[in-house]
């Protein structure tokens, strides 16, 4: 039987290597993962839907692929597993079972992974924290009083706590990078269309969402991207295939890159001094590695981009709530108040205004593309502050009372005119103002866990590359991983 210490000191490819050499078995690895989950999940609440017997049956069978025999967790939204509840973090769907595997889940299985559970997400993956009425509060293994981020907070907490070496995640506004930064993990968000989202959808959140994993090592994310990339049947478009396997990129030097950095929040909101200093330290590190570094930012109106993101967000919440109500027959009151606010506001949106703001995404992408003619990478903090405390983002009592009144009147138009929706969204985005640019422009980005705060919480740095250039990000990530290793940096629970 593999020891807990041996299990923890390997990444996913390392564990797969043990299985391939006959030094352990898939069943032994799964039991080690289940033992760790039994020990720590009651503290962090990362796994909301156990699939133990499904995992045990799979581990006992013949497994092939680069991750054959490795225990794995999928996120409880988008990554459907046929016959298993797919709650999307909301009460009305707690018992609703997915009719079939999502394309990405099938590719996880084809890679040899042993899926044994699903991880918590906030309701409909709508927040940068992971707290829901359906499943409760998910906590950060580095400090249980703080959030692991969101919406892939359960995935990140499970990996940081050592339950699995990597876990499925997705990112529509920062939901891979935010929890990676909160939990001291590597988080790569692929370009739009790189990883399939079918068959239940073509482009989630109007194309803003991408799926991959949060991981402890760069090579695990690279190998997983190799396993997942490429369109599924009926995909809306096919992105240019990579020139070589992403794993091969890790052996290639990035060359002398032109790196632009910025520490100014695109919303004009405060940025924690420790995060500003981390960017400057990273700039110095990059210079020492031979790169050209200068302070610069793309010609994008950050406040306008945020309004366009919020508009997309409201429209999608309205559509999702309507679909779930039609599917389950539930009442609107079965959803959380914030979800209802955005749903009513989204339902009241003028269709022409929605399309006008969606068209502005093209302007942002063109401006960012122009920026990348003179720069190879864009560096910012991943977050504007350390991981927030549990409950810190709860709405004040007066605002909750106003919400309740307007919701009772079904005043979606009033919500829009009052500015209440934008107030809620802006306050939330002020903590994570750097990530949405990548989502709306479809560009690949990553959070790299290079530093920690004075309080011992993880601190991530975000890099964004031009569309389709995941290989460039991975080459730099591997270089940074060698310069400032983080793999052995784990919380004590």
Q: Which residues have a catalytic role annotated? A: 75, 151, 175
| HEC-encoded secondary structure of the chain | CCCHHHHHCCCHHHHHHHHHCCCCCHHHHHHHHHHHHHHHHHHHCCEEEECHHHHHHHHCCCCCCCCCCCEEEEECCCCCCCCCECCCCCHHHCCCECCCCCHHHHHHHHCCCEEEEEECCCHHHCCCCCEECCCEECCECCECCECCCCCCHHHHHHHHCCCCCEEEEEECCCCCHHHHHHHCCEEEECCCCCCCCCCCCCCHHHHCCEEEEEECCHHHHHHHHHHHCCCCCCCCCCCCCCCCCHHHHCCCCCCCCEEEECCCCCCCCCCCHHHHHHHHHHHHHHHHCCCEEEECCCCCCHHHHHHHHHHHHHHHHHHHHHHHHHHHCCCHHHCCHHHHHHHHHHHCCCHHHHHHHHHHHHHHHHHHHHHCCCCCEEEEECCCCCCCECCCCCCCHHHHHHHHHHHHCCCHHHHHHHCHHHHHHHHHHCCCCCCHHHHHHCCCEEEEEEEECCCCCEEEEEEECCCCCHHHHHHHHHHHHHHCCCCCCCCCC
What whole-number distance in Å separates Cα of residue 176 and Cα of residue 473?
A: 15
CA-based nearest residue to 358, from 301, 305, 422, 405 = 305
Q: What are phi and psi of 171, to 5 degrees?
A: -145, 100
State the Cα angle at 251 between 380 and 283, rounded to 5°. 25
Terminal C-alpha separation, the chain:
23
């Amino acid at each position: 039987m593999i020891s807990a210490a041996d299990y923890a000191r390997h990444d996913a490819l390392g564990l797969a290597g043990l299985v391939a050499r006959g030094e352990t078995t898939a069943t032994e690895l799964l039991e080690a993962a289940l033992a760790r989950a039994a020990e720590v999940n009651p503290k962090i609440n990362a796994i909301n839907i156990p699939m133990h017997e499904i995992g045990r049956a799979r581990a006992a069978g013949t497994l092939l692929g680069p991750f054959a025999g490795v225990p794995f967790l999928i996120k409880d939204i988008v990554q459907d597993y046929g016959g298993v509840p797919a709650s999307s973090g909301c009460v009305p769907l707690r018992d609703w079972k997915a009719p079939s595997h999502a394309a990405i889940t099938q590719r996880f299985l084809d890679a040899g992974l042993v899926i044994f559970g699903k991880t918590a997400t906030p309701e409909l993956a709508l927040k940068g924290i992971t707290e829901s009425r359906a499943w409760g509060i998910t906590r950060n293994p580095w400090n249980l009083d703080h959030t692991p981020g969101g919406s892939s907070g359960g995935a990140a907490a499970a990996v940081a706590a050592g339950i699995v070496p990597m876990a499925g995640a997705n990112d529509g506004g920062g939901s891979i990078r935010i929890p990676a930064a909160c939990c001291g993990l590597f988080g790569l968000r692929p370009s739009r269309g790189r990883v399939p989202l079918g068959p239940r959808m073509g482009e989630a959140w109007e194309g803003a969402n991408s799926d991959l994993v949060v991981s402890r090592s760069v090579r695990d994310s690279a190998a997983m991207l190799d396993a997942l990339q490429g369109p599924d049947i009926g995909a809306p478009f096919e992105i240019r295939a990579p020139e070589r396997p992403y794993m091969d990129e890790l052996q290639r030097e990035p060359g002398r890159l032109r790196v632009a950095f910025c520490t100014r929040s695109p919303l004009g909101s405060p940025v924690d001094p420790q995060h500003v200093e981390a960017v400057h330290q990273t700039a110095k590190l990059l210079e020492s590695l031979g790169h050209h570094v200068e302070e610069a930012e793309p010609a994008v109106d950050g406040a306008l981009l945020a309004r366009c993101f919020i508009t997309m967000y409201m429209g999608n919440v309205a559509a999702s709530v309507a679909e779930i109500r039609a599917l389950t027959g539930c009442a609107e009151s079965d959803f959380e108040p914030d979800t209802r606010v955005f749903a009513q506001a989204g339902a009241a949106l003028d269709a022409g205004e929605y399309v006008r703001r969606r068209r502005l995404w093209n302007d942002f992408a063109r401006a960012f593309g122009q920026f990348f003619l003179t720069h190879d990478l864009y560096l910012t903090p991943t977050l504007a502050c350390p991981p927030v405390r549990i409950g810190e983002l709860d709405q004040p009592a007066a605002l909750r009372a106003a919400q309740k009144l307007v919701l009772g009147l079904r005043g979606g138009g009033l919500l829009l005119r009052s500015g209440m929706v934008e107030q809620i969204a802006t306050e939330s985005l002020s903590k994570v103002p750097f990530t949405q640019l990548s989502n709306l422009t479809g560009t690949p980005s990553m959070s790299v866990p290079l530093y920690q705060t004075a309080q011992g919480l993880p601190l991530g740095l975000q890099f964004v590359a031009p569309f389709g250039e995941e290989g460039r990000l991975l080459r730099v990530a591997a270089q940074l991983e060698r310069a400032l290793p983080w793999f052995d940096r784990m919380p004590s629970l």
